Amino acid sequence: MSTQVPEEQEQTEPDEQAAETAVQQRETPGDRRRAERDAERQERQAAAGAPAEPDEDAVLLKVFRYDPEVEGKMEPRFDDFYVPRKKGMTVLDALIYARDHFDTTLTFRHSCRQAVCGSDALFINGRQRLGCQTQISDLDDPVRVEPLPHQDVVKDLVVDMEHFYDQMHAVEPFFQPEEESGGDLEEYRQTRENREKIKMSTRCIWCGACMSSCNIAAGDNQYLGPAAINKAYRFAMDKREGENMKEHRLNVMDQEHGVWRCQTQFSCTNVCPKDIPLTEHIQELKREAVKQNLKFW
């Protein structure tokens, strides 16, 4: 029986070699290059993500990871990245460094890097913040970066903002004057006092941080939320629209899932990156709605 084993091996070896040759022939140069890049990326990440002796000047990022389309990454986890600490470095800077040097698949949103676009709102060290506005030097190590709570995660730090945008558009966030201006080239004039009243509400950048921090919004999917109500305040208090339009906007707010769902927790005000007094605006709309309902004429 011992003589049969080599015979079987001699018969199968040519078949295995032929199959391996066929696989190699089917591979394109692009496939081989992608495989090489993946191997290089994994080596860099392994070396940089968990060094035996990290640099004392490095900052440790613990970044939430999740990818529903890749097997082996469907289970949420945290990856560690050691990023060189530099003066003036923001959390967004650190994430970009980690992506460019360690793992090109790390996914997050960013655009202007000047706290204007609102696209890089994240949950940093247990608080909603803008990545581009948050200095690494102001945070305790390690820096823990997660996607916004109470939102469906699409991949890594990217959340689905569709519901947030639907709530914003539900309050008709655009100027609707009842009367035309005096001429084609004449502007809609506004008093200084009225401009000062609505000035803070116009600073909203649609980042979604306030909505993410709101416990009411987390439990009530129909609640308009602080960002949308603030946008309604911006136009309801703009006297250029007229009383009829103001009444219409107050009717939109004066509903079960409008201003009356707010429990005055101030969480939205505390996390707003533009320092908008969101809770105060919601309370003022409540007062305006009550005054409108008490009219007897």
Does 87 share its domain with 110? yes
Which burial class, exposed, middle or buried, applies to 88 when counting CB atoms under 10 A from its CB (0-12, 13-18, 19+)?
exposed
145 in any annotated domain: yes
Does 143 share its domain with 258? no
Return d(Cα 187, Cα 181) in angstroms, integer: 6
Does 121 share its domain with 210? no
268 in any annotated domain: yes
Q: What is the pLDDT of residue 72?
A: 82
Return d(Cα 66, Cα 75) in angstroms, integer: 6
Nearest CA-CA partner of 83 in 55, 47, 123: 55
Return d(Cα 58, Cα 93) in angstroms, integer: 13
Q: What is the pLDDT of residue 253?
A: 93
Q: What is the pLDDT of residue 251?
A: 93
Which of these three, 141, 159, 177, is where a domain ends? 159
Q: What is the pLDDT of residue 129?
A: 97
Q: What is the pLDDT of residue 57?
A: 84
Return d(Cα 255, Cα 261) in angstroms, integer: 9
Rounded to a whole number of angstroms, the CA Rg of the chain reads 28
CA angle 70, 108, 142 (to 5 degrees): 100
DSSP one-letter code for 261: G
The residue type found at 222 is Q
Q: What is the pLDDT of residue 128?
A: 97
**Domain tally, the chain:** 2
Which of these three, 96, 127, 159, is where a domain ends? 159
Does 153 share its domain with 171? no
What residues in the chain have per-residue pLDDT under 70?
A: 1-56, 182, 295-297
Does 171 share its domain with 263? yes
Which of these three, 159, 189, 223, is where a domain ends? 159
Which range of residues forms the domain containing residue 269?
Answer: 162-293
Does 136 share its domain with 230? no
46 in any annotated domain: yes
Intra-chain end-to-end CA distance of the chain, in Å: 109
Does 247 share its domain with 153? no
State the CATH number of the domain containing residue 99. 3.10.20.30
Does 147 share its domain with 192? no
pLDDT digits (tens, 9 = 90+) for 11-64: 445 555 555 555 455 566 656 665 665 666 556 555 544 443 456 689 999 999
Q: What is the pLDDT of residue 31?
A: 62
Does 120 share its domain with 196? no
Does 127 share its domain with 203? no
Q: What is the pLDDT of residue 55?
A: 62
